[in-house]
């Protein structure tokens, strides 16, 4: 039995949620399944003396060139047939000594703010791209299922774990904060109530500073103060 780590990397650019995917390729660098290109979540087998967290950090660095990122384990997936579908055989036969060996995977999610800049991941595994969630095609293995589970986890943990701030720029407006919440929770929120609730939160600190370079009336900026949570 092998064990791998897979990473669901979410990015938010102020408009949409995106996920980082990697193009599977053959050993000679060509794309697998030329006719409909197969994408996958970044992941790798765990090395013999590597902790789970170290493996996740290595996957991020090697496959996406992204370092020092918020990474959190959320679930393990172990269906005995999860790597045995026809669509995955070509890649498995290229890269695995025992293509039919069972692989249990421990999944992490990561959060990246794409406001200030979009990390352009260089990957030795193939091309990478930030893909809008609603445009994600059929992925390798059970990666669509893992992505759905990650999104559900993000929904559940957004408020209690205050993780939304990792998707926002350091200085953000309340409109940006509300839009992110609406997107992740998949529902419209009442602007007045949202602002009333946020103003009660000591960890959301109003700054003596406004937006710059916008065409509309510049809005006040806020910052997240994690120390106020203790």
Which residues lie near a second copy (CB under 8 A)? 1-3, 46, 48-52, 73, 75-80, 102, 104, 106, 156, 160
78 or 137: whose CB is closer to a second copy?
A: 78
Smallest gap from Cβ 214 to a second copy, in A, equals 36
Comparison of 179 and 203: residue with beta carbon closer to a second copy: 203
CA distance 115 to 100: 42
Closest distance to a second copy from the beta carbon of 87 (Å): 21
Of 1 and 215, nearer to a second copy (C-beta) is 1
Q: Which residues of 97-122 are buried (b: 16+ CB within 10 A; e: fewer)?
A: eeeeeebbbbbbbbbbbbbeeebebe
CB 10, min distance to a second copy, A:
20
Report the residue number, 80 or 206, with the smaller CB distance to a second copy: 80
In angstroms and rounded to an integer, the radius of gyration of the C-alpha atoms of the chain is 20
| Shortest distance in whole angstroms from residue 98 CB to a second copy | 13
The conformational region for residue 197 under phi > 0 = left, psi -120 to 50 = alpha, else beta, is alpha
Q: List C-alpha distances in Å: 20 to 150, 202, 227.
A: 13, 33, 30
């Amino acid at each position: 039995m092998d064990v791998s780590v897979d990473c669901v990397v979410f990015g938010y650019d102020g408009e949409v949620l995106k996920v980082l995917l990697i193009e599977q390729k053959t050993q000679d660098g060509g794309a697998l399944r030329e006719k409909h290109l197969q994408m996958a979540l970044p992941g790798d087998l765990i090395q013999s003396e590597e902790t789970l967290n170290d493996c996740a950090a290595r996957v991020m660095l090697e496959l996406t060139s992204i370092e020092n990122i918020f990474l959190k384990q959320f679930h393990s997936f172990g269906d005995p047939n999860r790597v045995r579908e026809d669509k995955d055989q070509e890649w498995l036969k290229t890269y695995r000594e025992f293509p039919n060996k069972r692989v249990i995977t421990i999944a992490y999610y990561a959060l990246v703010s794409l406001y200030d800049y979009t990390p352009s991941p260089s990957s030795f595994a193939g091309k990478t791209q930030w893909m809008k969630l609603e445009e994600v095609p059929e992925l390798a293995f059970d990666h669509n299922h893992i992505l759905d589970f990650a999104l559900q986890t993000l929904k559940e943990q957004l408020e209690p774990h205050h993780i939304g701030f990792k998707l926002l720029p350091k200085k953000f407006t309340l409109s940006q904060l509300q839009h992110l919440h609406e997107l992740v929770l998949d529902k419209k929120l009442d602007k007045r109530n949202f602002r009333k609730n946020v103003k009660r939160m000591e960890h959301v600190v109003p700054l003596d500073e406004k937006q710059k370079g916008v065409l509309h009336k510049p809005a006040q900026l806020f910052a997240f103060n994690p120390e106020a949570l203790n």
